[in-house]
Chains A and B, each alone.
Chain A
Amino acid sequence: MKLRISHETTYRYGRPIRNLVQSLRLTPSVFEGQKVHEWQIDVTDGIRGPGFRDGAGDWIEGWNVRGPVDQVTVRVQGRIDTRDMAGVLRGHREVVHPLTYMTHTDFTQPDDALRDLANSVNGTSDNLDLAHRLSLQISDSIAFQNGVTANNTTAAEALALGAGVCQDHTHALIALARIRHLPARYVSGYLHSTIDGEPHDAAHAWAEIHVEGLGWVGFDAANKCCPDERYVRLGSGLDASDAAPIRGVAMGSGAEDMAVAVQVEELAQ
Chain B
Amino acid sequence: MSYYNEMFEGDQVRDPYARLREWVDTMPDDFRQMKQAEAEALFRRIGITFAVYGEGGDPDRLIPFDMMPRVFEQAEWRKLERGIKQRARALNAFLRDVYGRGEIVRAGRIPARLVYQNEAYEKSVVGFVPPRGIYSHIIGIDLVRTAKDEFYVLEDNCRTPSGVSYMLENREIMMRMFPQLFRKNRIEPVDQYPDLLRRTLESVAPAKCEGRPTCVILTPGHYNSAYYEHSFLANLMGVELVEGQDLFVDGDFCYMRTTTGPRKVDVIYRRIDDPYLDPLCFRPDSMLGIPGLMNVYRSGGVSICSAPGAGVADDKAIYTFVPEMIRFYLGEQPILNNVQTWTLWKDDDYRYVMENLGDLVVKEVHGSGGYGMLVGPKSTKEEIEMFRHKIKANPSNYIAQPTLALSTCPTFVEEGIAPRHVDLRPYCLCGDRIELVPGGLTRVALRDGSLVVNSSQGGGVKDTWVLSE
Contact = CB atoms under 8 A, between A and B. Distances in A.
Nearest to A96: B126
A18 B279 CA distance: 17
Contacts of B124: 54-55
B15 interface: no
A156 to B, nearest CB: 20
Interface in A36-62: 47-52, 54-56, 60-62
Contact of A49 (B99, B113, B251): B251
B280 A247 contact: yes
A49 B298 CA distance: 12
A241 B250 CA distance: 23
A99 B110 CA distance: 14
A22 B278 CA distance: 11
Interface in A144-195: none
Contact of A64 (B101, B119, B292, B294): B292
Of listed B248, B251, B301, residue having the most chain A CB within 10 A: B251
Nearest to A47: B251
A100 interface: yes
B296 interface: yes
Contact of B281 (A23, A64, A97, A102): A23
A261 interface: no
B43 interface: no
Interface centre among A48, A64, A99 (most CB of B within 10 A): A99
A49 B125 contact: no
A54 B249 contact: no
A61 B252 CA distance: 10
A164 B125 CA distance: 33
Nearest to A98: B116
Given A51-B299, A54-B124, A249-B291, A95 B249 contact: no
Contacts of A97: 102, 105, 112, 115-116, 126
Given A21-B249, A23-B295, A100 B117 contact: yes
B280 A248 contact: yes
A22 B280 contact: yes
B126 A21 contact: no
Contacts of A52: 295, 298-299
Contacts of B116: 97-100, 102
Nearest to B249: A21
B249 A55 contact: no
B299 A47 contact: no
A73 interface: no
B123 interface: yes
B244 to A, nearest CB: 11
Interface in A49-108: 49-52, 54-56, 60-62, 64, 66, 95-100, 102-103
Interface in B274-295: 279-281, 284, 291-292, 294-295
Contacts of B296: 49-50, 62
B458 interface: no
A136 to B, nearest CB: 27
Given A64-B251, A99-B117, A249 B280 contact: yes
A54 B127 contact: yes
B123 A238 contact: yes
B416 interface: no
B377 interface: no
B252 A49 contact: yes
B100 interface: yes
Interface residues of A, number: 31
Q: Indicate the size class of the contact surface on chain B.
A: 35 or more
A19 interface: yes
Contacts of B65: none
B135 interface: no
Interface centre among A61, A64, A102, A241 (most CB of B within 10 A): A64
B121 interface: yes
A23 B280 contact: yes
B128 interface: yes
Nearest to B281: A23
A33 B301 CA distance: 33
Nearest to B126: A55
A66 B279 CA distance: 18
Interface string A221-247: 000000000000000001001000001
Interface string A201-212: 000000000000
B126 A50 contact: no
Given A54-B126, A96-B123, A49 B292 contact: yes
B299 A50 contact: yes
Contact of B126 (A51, A56, A64): A56
Contacts of A47: 250-251
Of B99, B123, B296, B299, most A-chain CB atoms within 10 Å = B123
Interface in A1-57: 19, 21-23, 47-52, 54-56
A247 B282 CA distance: 11
A99 B115 CA distance: 9
Interface string B294-310: 11101101000000000
A55 B127 contact: yes
A175 to B, nearest CB: 16
B121 A249 contact: no
Interface string B213-250: 00000000000000000000000000000000000111
9 contacts: A47-B250, A48-B251, A54-B128, A64-B251, A95-B100, A96-B126, A97-B116, A99-B113, A103-B117
Interface of A: 19, 21-23, 47-52, 54-56, 60-62, 64, 66, 95-100, 102-103, 238, 241, 247-249
Given A97-B115, A97-B116, 4 more contacts: A23-B281, A64-B251, A99-B113, A249-B280
What are the 7 closest A-B residue pairs judged by CB atoms, nearest first? A55-B126, A50-B299, A55-B127, A62-B295, A99-B116, A21-B292, A249-B291
